[in-house]
Each structure stands twice: as C-alpha cells, then as structure tokens.
C-alpha cells in the first residue's frame, strides 16, 4: 500500500539515517577509521614517522607475541586488574552496606565516600607522588621511615593499585548503594521473621538480589582497569624494571617514545582481542552467577 505523498515517504525512510549521520560520522572518524588504520599498520613495517614502508604480513604479530615485553605486560596488567578490582568491589560493597540505611548524617558519608571519583586521575596521581616521596613526602614523615613506594620493583604495582582503588571506590560505592537500596524491604523483613541472622541474610538474600549490579560493576571495573594509563605515566613510567608496564603504557611507549608504530599497532589489536575474549567469557558466566528474578 503506497503512501500517496512519495516525497514524504522517502523522507520518512531516510529520517532515521539522517539522525544517525552526525554520530556515524564522528564514530567513523574517531573509532572505525583509526581501527582500520591500526590494523593496516600492524601488518606493515613502519618508519619513524609512522608511515607504512612495506607489507609484512603476520611477521609483526609473531615477533610481538614471542617478545618478552608483551608477555610481561599481559602478566602485569592481569596482576594490576586483580589488585585493583577485588579491593574496589569489596570496599565499595562494605561502604555501601555501612551507609545503606537512610539515617541522620548518612548523606554526609555518602558524599565523602563517593568524593574521590571526581578527582582527575592525573591530579590524584600527582598528589600521591608528592605525599609518598621518600625524601620530602608527608607519609614518610609520619611513618618515620623512608619507603621506596614507586621505585622498589616489588612495591610499585601495589602502590599504583592502591591509588587506583582509592580513586574508583566511589564509583562502585554509588552503584552498590543504589543496588542495595533496591532490595525490597518486604523480603528482608520476612527473613527477620523467619529468624535469619545477618550473615545468612547477606549471603542468601542481599547478595543474590544485587548480583546484577555486582556483575555489571565487575565487568566495568575489569575493562577500565585493564586500560589504566594516566597513573602509570605520571608515577612510574612503566616502573622499576618493567614491573608496572601495563599494556596501554607499553603501546604508548612503543609508539610515541620508541617510534615503533607497527609494534604498537599490533599490541593494540591484541589488547582489543584480549578484552573482547574476557568480556565474552564474563557474559557467558553471567547466566550462572547472576540471580535472575
């Protein structure tokens, strides 16, 4: 059944695409074209200007995967994600549980706990760098002993992870608080009447009911922490003997300091594939872990 007014019909068909056009152009320019370019460069040998010199096929990939530095960065990134995600979630959940009830003065604590989120990671990193400086730092003065927080290869990753946890706990806290407050009162009251203790209430009722929030936070945290860069750049620059050389910093270093654009492109593609695989794994897990009411 044809619409009598064909100009209007054509417009109506095109209309959604016209709305999408600006967004598509921006995304195309800033996401898809660079992705295609990166893929192309990863298959070539590049010169110091970042231009492709000749086709190299998969030899770049072979070199990178077999190189010690890529494996080291994967391990460091994995360690860092673990060191940052677990405390972020645990502390975020603990703080949310503490301020769950809307009592007098809760508002103040809500603000205090979520405040670090608004601090730019660069500013936060600079702050910690000054505070933890072994010779002139406030922390060294208070503790009375000098500790090489950032230059000791066994400590550096923990210190950076601690800073990251401090910066991101607020975000998790906000999510968990909302999730906890959405647990229907009726269920917890019914549990109380049945004589459930606080631990039983937590593990059998609260946790399952906030499991969608938990899952979402976990996925977001892993993806975000795997791409940390700012703190590493400011605090350790890959760290004492590569102990904080996370993947994104490795890519930056190879591309912009060492002029090895092809290697950096390969590593970017590999990072993308790794994160893709991890996310797919996580969503496969979702069905088993998240309680679906």
Partner 1 sequence: MKRKKFSLGIVLLCVAVLSGTFFGCTSSSGQASSSLGNVMSSAGKQTNITFWYSMGGLGEKALQKMIGDFNSSQKNIHVDAKYEGSYTDAMNKLKNSIKGGQLPDIVQLGDEDTRFMMENKNVVPIQDLVDAEKYDLSTLEPNILAFYSLGGKLYGMPFNNSTPVLYYNKDLFRAAGLDPENPPKTMDELIADGKKIAQKDAKGNLKVSGCEINNSDINEWLFSEWMCLQGLPFADNGNGRSKRSTAVAYDKNGGGQKILQKLLEVQQSGTASSAKNINDIFGRFVSKQSAMMLSSSAGLYTVLTTVGSKFQVGTGPMPTISPDDKGGVSVGGAALWMMDTDDSNRQKAAFEFIKFMVSPEEQAYWCGQTGYFPVTTKSYDLPEMKQLLSQKPQFKTAIDQLHKSSPQNQGVLIGTFPELTQQYEDVINKVLSGEWTPEEGIKNAADQANKTIAEYNENNPLD
From the CB of 248, what's the least distance to partner 1, in Å? 16
CB 267 within 8 A of CB 70: yes
Give me the residues that bind partner 1 (CB under 8 A), please: 8, 11, 15, 18-19, 21-22, 25-26, 45-51, 53, 133-136, 145-146, 148, 151-153, 237, 240-242, 253, 256-260
- Written as one string, the DSSP assignment of 132-173 is T-TTT-HHHHHHSS---TTTSTTTHHHHHHHHHHHHHHHHHH
Shortest distance, position 166 Cβ to partner 1, whole Å = 22
Token couple for 168: 């991101």
Write b or e for each residue in 181-206: b if 16 or more Cβ atoms lie within 10 A of its Cβ, otherwise e. eebeeeeeeebeeeeeeeeebeeebb
Other Cβ atoms closer than 10 A to 179: 20
Shortest separation between residue 228's beta carbon and partner 1, angstroms:
20
Min CB(15)–partner 1 separation in Å: 6
- Cα(207)–Cα(171) distance, integer angstroms: 19
Cβ closest to partner 1, residue 68 vs residue 195:
68
CB of 255 to partner 1, least distance (A): 9
Burial of 220 (0-12, 13-18, 19+ CB in 10 A): middle
Q: Residue 133 or residue 227: which is nearer to partner 1 going by CB?
A: 133
State the minimum distance, in angstroms, from the CB of residue 164 to partner 1. 21
Residue 34: both structure tokens together:
């660079």
CA dihedral 137, 158, 121, 179 (to 10 degrees): -130
Smallest gap, in angstroms, from Cβ of residue 136 to partner 1?
4
Mapping DSSP to helix (H, G, I), strand (E, B) and coil, where does residue 59 land?
Answer: helix
For residue 266, the minimal CB distance to partner 1 (Å) is 14
Contacts with 90 (C-beta within 8 Å, 6 or more apart), sequence order: none
Nearer to partner 1, 94 or 257 (CB): 257
* CA–CA distances in Å: residue 183 to residues 60, 138, 189, 205: 52, 43, 11, 9
């Amino acid at each position: 059944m044809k619409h009598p007014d064909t100009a209007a019909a054509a417009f109506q068909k095109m209309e959604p695409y016209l709305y999408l056009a600006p967004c598509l152009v921006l995304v195309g320019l800033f996401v898809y074209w660079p992705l295609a370019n990166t893929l192309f460069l990863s298959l070539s040998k590049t010169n110091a200007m970042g231009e492709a010199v000749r086709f190299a096929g998969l030899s770049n990939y072979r070199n990178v995967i077999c190189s010690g530095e890529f494996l080291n960065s994967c391990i460091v990134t994995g360690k860092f994600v673990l060191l940052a995600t677990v405390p972020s979630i645990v502390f975020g959940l603990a703080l949310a549980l503490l301020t769950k009830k809307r009592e007098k003065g809760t508002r103040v604590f809500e603000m205090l706990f979520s405040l670090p989120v608004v601090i730019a990671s660069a500013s936060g990193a600079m702050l910690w760098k000054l505070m933890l400086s072994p010779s002139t730092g406030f922390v060294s003065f208070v503790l009375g002993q000098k500790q090489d927080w950032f230059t000791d290869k066994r400590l550096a990753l923990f210190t950076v992870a601690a800073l990251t946890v401090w910066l991101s706990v607020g975000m998790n806290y906000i999510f968990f608080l909302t999730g906890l407050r959405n647990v229907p009162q009726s269920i917890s009251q019914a549990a109380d009447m049945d004589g459930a203790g606080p631990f039983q209430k937590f593990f059998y009722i609260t946790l399952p009911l906030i499991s969608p929030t938990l899952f979402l936070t976990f996925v977001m945290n892993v993806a975000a922490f795997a791409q940390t860069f700012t703190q590493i750049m400011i605090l350790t620059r890959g760290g004492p003997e590569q102990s904080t050389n996370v993947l994104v910093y490795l890519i930056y270093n190879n591309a912009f300091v060492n002029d090895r654009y092809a290697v950096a492109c390969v590593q970017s593609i590999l990072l993308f594939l790794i994160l893709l695989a991890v996310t797919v794994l996580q969503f496969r897990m979702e069905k088993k872990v998240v309680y679906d009411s």
